[in-house]
Chains A and B, each alone.
Chain A
């Protein structure tokens, strides 16, 4: 397999993953509206192939290196980061090679899996790691068989992956409870299958696939007022595409919609809060190419930051910058007022990429930067930032908004970084987080039967209670924490919580737990009507 073929295989895996990402998203173990695995992997893979598209390199090593670099920069979510490490391992294994024989290809798969394992502190079986390893083993076995070819090795890897994915519920209790297979592992299976599909098509086709040649015309688009959402662009390749129908469908999902082209190739541009749905919808019409999703709120924010940071901002005595991840206007403002230099937009539902965080870190006018991911699913992508910048980045692994706020409150601009880290970590660990949302599907988790739409309460990321209304679930959660040890509850009100719901929640906490002080802040976060900090 040479570089050109590998490139085609990767492009094929991208469109196959794009077509199947909803399937992957549906496998979320927790019924919470979380950073979706399918979307995260797709965006990571998209970033991996970004530079490859324009490369004419014939050496497989060059293509692999581009993919490794691109995926690392675009890594989102934990599964995205692991995927980037898989590319990294693969790239290392094929260094200096212009083409791979079946043995070398299989060895690269094995090394890809090893790299993924090394990236994780405590590898867990029944996850994408297991699937990567089983794919590597199957590839190695296939490569040893007489008459092995690149497609036969990849076919073996894909079927090894599929078998491993099916076994994941037997390895992980949470998957078994939720009645799903591992989403990240399934995503990897899709990627391998996409490569295989492309190679099979390439073999059977007389001519190799024509690379997408249609260059998108430069379009100027008015930014929507406020500028929030994701700028989503792609091409749809197909037959008899109905531009008007596509435009109508896309228009229901966002604004600044542009649908142009011909029945065989359509260029789509849209600003949307839900790129996943746009992509899924477009995928029904044909093959997606040149997919590009940009977080406009982050870009917008960055511009605003640069502007507002330039005028006479007093030099911070300790020379330590603060970069935090948060979503929701209220939360962004709160972090800013507490001293955060840049707030990278993202969190629960849209995890920021390594690149987003790297840009923010580099934009801060200090050489030392403390980075707070404020979400479990952002931590791994944040870790990558440390080695990608010349700046000294210290990561505090905050899992939630309350942990992040507690840490930032403890930040002192007069103390050296080490002292700050110690104080901030201690405060983050002290605070308890209660998150309240609606179940996005039926499931069983942590011994709890949950129906789609139920109000669910999570204590420190663990699903603990389900019920009919917010106040009931919050009171149960507070009861479980034991309020004797705490004095203050800060309620971060989400975008979807009504005034009545807020009032009801407040008065119910006050009457059930009269010793607790209750403070309400406008968080403005999506999907989580209430996030509570208990300390």
Chain B
């Protein structure tokens, strides 16, 4: 199983489920850092806060993907390679091109159409399957059910990254609003806007309970572990028999969300 660093995989999942993670890159000026390899999340966000200019992000190169696939080809017949939505990044395309240069190794590249931990969930789904075909079918079937409900502390980063257009018009600009955005069907749609974080977190939980039942659920955060834990414990009250996984938003995604972003991520049933 291969994914990329925007899957925001919980730390222990790599080993537990045997998942390879290809890092995207963050560029501060002329300096390039591989997401979560050359720089920790904490380092990234403190640098982000200190930096006058926003960093830019870039997808791994096809060559970097080819390297990983070639290494895997030594032990496996093929792999499933699940990546950040192609509407947001060129990563899946790079994986596809990279796969073409590796002979005698089957790569099933999947465009998840989403971002952050739902990709990790898709990897878990794949891990539970016994063949590559079965895994590819199971994963593709779940893509339309992936959701990310995100609370950004500010729209500044998303705006500067050029990932917000219609949403901007709906959300308004003068007041410091806390927008709730839903990533669904390849789109980022505003679903609500509130003035304070506490209220916004309440809305996230409310929104989530209207979406029940879910197959998997988690909470992601950018340097806001206490709030993530609080949301997780509120979600647990609604999904008693299910695990609520907590994950951290990495450097690449963090460039667009900014610090203090929170997300409730889930696979609808």
Contacts and interface: CB of A to CB of B under 8 A. Distances in A.
10 contacts: A334-B174, A337-B174, A337-B175, A409-B177, A409-B194, A409-B195, A410-B194, A487-B196, A487-B198, A490-B175
A535 B196 contact: yes
Contacts of A409: 172, 175, 177, 193-195
Given A338-B174, A409-B175, A490-B175, A314 B195 contact: no
A338 B172 CA distance: 5
B174 A521 contact: yes
A339 interface: yes
Interface in B195-234: 195-199
A294 to B, nearest CB: 29
Main secondary structure of the interface of A (DSSP, over half): mixed
Interface in A444-499: 487-488, 490
Contacts of A314: 169
Contacts of A333: 174
B174 A488 contact: no
B252 to A, nearest CB: 29
A406 interface: yes
A490 B195 CA distance: 10
A490 B169 CA distance: 22
Contacts of A490: 175, 195
A405 B175 contact: yes
B192 interface: yes
A337 B173 contact: yes
Contacts of B170: 339, 413
B176 interface: yes
A292 interface: no
Contacts of B193: 409-410
Lowest 5 CB-CB distances: which A-B pairs, in order? A337-B174, A338-B172, A337-B172, A334-B174, A488-B196
A350 B265 CA distance: 50
Given A488-B195, A517-B196, A535-B196, 5 more contacts: A409-B175, A409-B177, A410-B193, A487-B196, A521-B175
A412 interface: yes
Contacts of A521: 174-175
Interface in B144-182: 169-170, 172-177
A487 B197 contact: yes
Given A314-B169, A413-B170, A334 B196 contact: no
A374 to B, nearest CB: 15
Contacts of B199: 535
A319 to B, nearest CB: 15
Interface string A397-419: 00000000110011011100000
A406 B193 CA distance: 10
Contacts of A487: 196-198
A136 B256 CA distance: 70
Interface of B: 169-170, 172-177, 191-199
B195 A334 contact: no
B192 A412 contact: yes
Nearest to B193: A409
Interface string A510-522: 0000000101010
B137 to A, nearest CB: 33
Contact of A535 (B172, B174, B177, B195): B195
Given A487-B196, A487-B198, A334 B175 contact: yes
Nearest to A517: B196
Size category of the A interface is 20 to 34
Nearest to B170: A413
A488 B173 CA distance: 17
A262 B174 CA distance: 52
Interface string A320-341: 0000000000000110011100
In the complex, which of the residues A337, A406, A414, A521 has the most CB atoms of chain B within 10 Å of its own CB atom? A337
A412 B193 CA distance: 9
Contacts of B195: 406, 409, 488, 490, 535
Contact of B172 (A339, A406, A517): A339
A521 B177 CA distance: 13
Contacts of B177: 409
A520 B194 CA distance: 17
Interface in A499-528: 517, 519, 521
Contacts of A413: 170
Given A314-B169, A487-B197, A487-B198, A338 B175 contact: yes
A337 B200 CA distance: 20
Interface string A289-317: 00000000000000000000000001000
Nearest to B197: A487
A499 to B, nearest CB: 20
A308 to B, nearest CB: 14
Nearest to B177: A409
Nearest to A339: B172
Interface string A72-115: 00000000000000000000000000000000000000000000
B203 to A, nearest CB: 10
A337 B169 CA distance: 8
Nearest to A331: B174
B184 to A, nearest CB: 13
B126 to A, nearest CB: 34
A525 B1 CA distance: 61
A407 B101 CA distance: 57
Contacts of B197: 487
Nearest to A317: B170
Contact of A519 (B172, B175, B191): B175
In the complex, which of the residues A409, A410, A412, A521 has the most CB atoms of chain B within 10 Å of its own CB atom? A409
Contacts of A334: 174-175
A338 B169 CA distance: 9
B21 to A, nearest CB: 36
A339 B190 CA distance: 14
A333 B192 CA distance: 21
In the complex, which of the residues A338, A405, A414 has the most CB atoms of chain B within 10 Å of its own CB atom? A338
Contact of B176 (A406, A410, A519): A519
A409 B198 CA distance: 15
Contacts of A412: 191-192
A412 B169 CA distance: 12
Nearest to A313: B169
Contacts of A535: 195-196, 199
Contacts of B174: 333-334, 337-338, 521
Nearest to A522: B174
Nearest to A330: B174
Contacts of B172: 337-339, 409
B78 to A, nearest CB: 43
Contacts of B176: 519
Interface string A114-143: 000000000000000000000000000000
